[in-house]
Chain A
Amino acid sequence: MSHLVAKLSKSVDFIGAFDPKIRTFDIIMKTANGSSYNSYVVRGSEGVAVMDTVKKEFSDEFFLRLESVCKYEEIKYIVLHHLEPDHSGALEELMKRAPKAKLIISGRAVMMLKGIIKSDVAFETANTGKKISLGDKTIEFLSTPFLHWPDTMSSYLHEEKILFSGDVFGSHYYDERLFDDEVGDFSYAFKYYYEHIMRPFKQYVLQALNLYSRFEIKTIAPLHGPILRTNPQYYIDKYEAWSSEDKFRKSTFGKKMFSVFYMSSYDNTHKMAEVIMEGADTVEGIVASMYDLASLDEKNMIDLLEESDAVIVGSPTINGDAVKPAWDLLSCMAYLESQGKIGASFGSYGWTGEAPEMLHDRMRWLKFRLPVQPIKIKLIPTEEELNDCFAFGKEIAEITMGKMVEMEI
Chain B
Amino acid sequence: MVNLYLKDDNIKVKVSNSKSLREIARKSGASMEFGCRVGDCSTCVAKVVKGNELLSPITQKEIFALEAMGSSDKDLRLMCQCSINADEGEIEISYFF
Closest A residue, CB atoms, query B31:
A369
A28 within 8 A of B: no
Residues on B with C-beta less than 8 A from A339 are: 31, 33, 96
Are A402 and B10 in contact, CB atoms less than 8 angstroms apart? Answer: yes
Residues on A with C-beta less than 8 A from B24 are: 409
Minimum C-beta distance from B53 to chain A (A): 21
State the interface size on chain B (CB cutoff 8 A).
Answer: 29
Are B68 and A367 in contact, CB atoms less than 8 angstroms apart? Answer: no
A-B contact count (CB 8 A): 76
Residues on B with C-beta less than 8 A from A402 are: 10
Whether A340 contacts B31 in the complex (CB less than 8 A), given A107-B69, A125-B70, A409-B19, comes out as yes
B58 within 8 A of A: no
Complex interface bits, A364-389 against B, C-beta within 8 A gives 1, otherwise 0:
10011111100000000000000000
Are B15 and A405 in contact, CB atoms less than 8 angstroms apart? Answer: no
Are A371 and B29 in contact, CB atoms less than 8 angstroms apart? Answer: yes
Minimum C-beta distance from A109 to chain B (A): 8
Minimum C-beta distance from A114 to chain B (A): 9
Are B13 and A111 in contact, CB atoms less than 8 angstroms apart? Answer: no
Q: How far is the CA of A189 from the CA of B93 in the complex (A)?
A: 41
State the interface size on chain A (CB cutoff 8 A).
Answer: 27
Whether A405 contacts B43 in the complex (CB less than 8 A), given A108-B68, A369-B9, comes out as no
Are B68 and A110 in contact, CB atoms less than 8 angstroms apart? Answer: yes
Closest A residue, CB atoms, query B8:
A340
Q: What are 16 A-B pairs with beta-carbon distances under 8 A?
A: A108-B42, A111-B68, A150-B41, A340-B31, A341-B31, A364-B26, A370-B29, A399-B10, A405-B9, A405-B28, A406-B11, A407-B12, A407-B13, A408-B14, A409-B13, A409-B28
Interface residues in chain B, defined as those with a beta carbon under 8 Å from any beta carbon in chain A: 1, 8-16, 19, 23-24, 26-31, 33, 40-43, 65, 68-70, 96
6 A-B pairs with the lowest CB-CB distances in the bound complex, closest first: A370-B29, A369-B31, A110-B68, A107-B70, A408-B14, A405-B11
